[in-house]
Amino acid sequence: MLAFEPFQWLLNGLGTVMAEIYDVIPNWGLTIIVLTIMIRLILLPLGIKQIRSMQNMQAIQPMVKQIQQKYKQNKQKQQEEIMKLYREHGVNPFAGCWPVLLQFPILIAMYSVIRFPQHPVHIPKDSALYAQIEVQIPEVTSADEVPTEAGDPSGTQFLGMNLLCSASLAGNEDAKLGDQTTFAGDQEPTRLEYPVDCGDSIPDRIPYYFFAAAMFATTYLQQRQMQKASPPGAASQQQQQLMKIMPLVFGVFGVFFPSGLVLYWTTSNLWQIGQQYFMLQNRPTAETLAARADGKKKRGGMFASLMDRANEERNRRGTPGGSSGGSSGGSSPKPSSGGSSPGPRRSGGNGAGNRKKRPKR
């Protein structure tokens, strides 16, 4: 559909990059790890900005408490002043949740690329990676062509896992992967079931369960790390609940999603934890933020300077006795008593305003 065309470009782009990496590193697990690092490097500036915003928020927390105390009887004014303070210091109160939430579109895209069987296929069909996957999930033109036995999983294995399988299928000798497709000439979609080798014993389940637990643990550690970095009361009740529920949600995902996607998410979490650890060691102080804010005001530019001068001039004219020179638009100065004015006051356009007529002789 045309509405999803840009998203299809993203899926095909990820599949193409994955296939190119596999040509250099013929191991699908390592390919996913390298692709994850590339994605995190692209998102690095945004991640740094978000963490800095949280650090700034923690630094200005004493000022927030002062505003809360000052306007404790006026909640609306209190919120206005706090938001004004946030804007002045470049603080985003929702920065704690964004690092995880912004990964959802990429997570969905990675799921669409890694999940098999799939229609359409987003990995180039002439690539070495697709050739390894096709051994287990061949492209068929009818349901009768679906193999009855699992293919060789060596091309998609990593640390004892078949990355096409999920933890829920691990150790099941009758494991199958299914998807619905519509063949040419059919009116209704047909569900295809491909047998896959996900192991057949309890020891075969261990690496799958380990990575599912790692996905849950790293998501929890990342959220916990951000909670400690946030000032008390900075996150709303809804945000706190979201941070508690998020690890549980991804723990469930880790059981039912393909192991290739679990590997991607766990690697991404480990990168994020390390990035946050190093950045949170250097926290800005309120004095640093104040100096930075003063510097921004001084660098406001020519327009800001002209506006300030205009405001000063307007205030000067609006105060009593503020006019030091000639007046414009106001009353004419009164002549001093006992003396004449500095010069004749002329009115009219002929220059003969107050001149007396001389009698004719």
How confident is the model over 40-67, as a mean pLDDT? 81
Number of helical H runs and strand E runs in the chain: 13, 4
Looking at the predicted structure, is the pLDDT value of residue 238 above 70?
no
**Cα–Cα nearest to 61, from 301, 309, 283, 318:** 283
Answer for the pair 283, 55: CB distance below 8 angstroms, yes or no. Answer: yes
Contacts of 242 (CB under 8 A, 6+ apart): 97
Give residue for tokens 């006795």.
Answer: 321
What pTM was computed for the model?
A: 0.72
The larger pLDDT score, comparing residue 157 to residue 85, is at 157
Which pLDDT band holds residue 260 (cuts at 50, 70, 90)? very high
Structure tokens at 64: 């927030």
Lowest mean pLDDT among 147-156, 299-308, 309-318: 299-308
The per-residue pLDDT for 98 is: 64
241-256 residue pLDDT tens: 777 787 888 888 889 9
The per-residue pLDDT for 74 is: 87
Which pLDDT band holds residue 169 (cuts at 50, 70, 90)? very high
Give residue for tokens 């229609």.
Answer: 119
**Rg of the Cα trace of the chain?**
36
Q: What percent of the chain clears pLDDT 90, i.e. is strictly above it?
A: 37
92-103 residue pLDDT tens: 666 656 666 677
The per-residue pLDDT for 57 is: 75
Cα 176 from Cα 190, distance rounded (Å) = 15
What residues does each domain of the chain span?
A: 2-62+92-280
Sign of CA dihedral 278, 282, 286, 288: negative
Categorise residue 288: left if φ over 0, alpha if ψ from -120 to 50, beta otherwise: alpha
Length, in residues, of the chain: 361
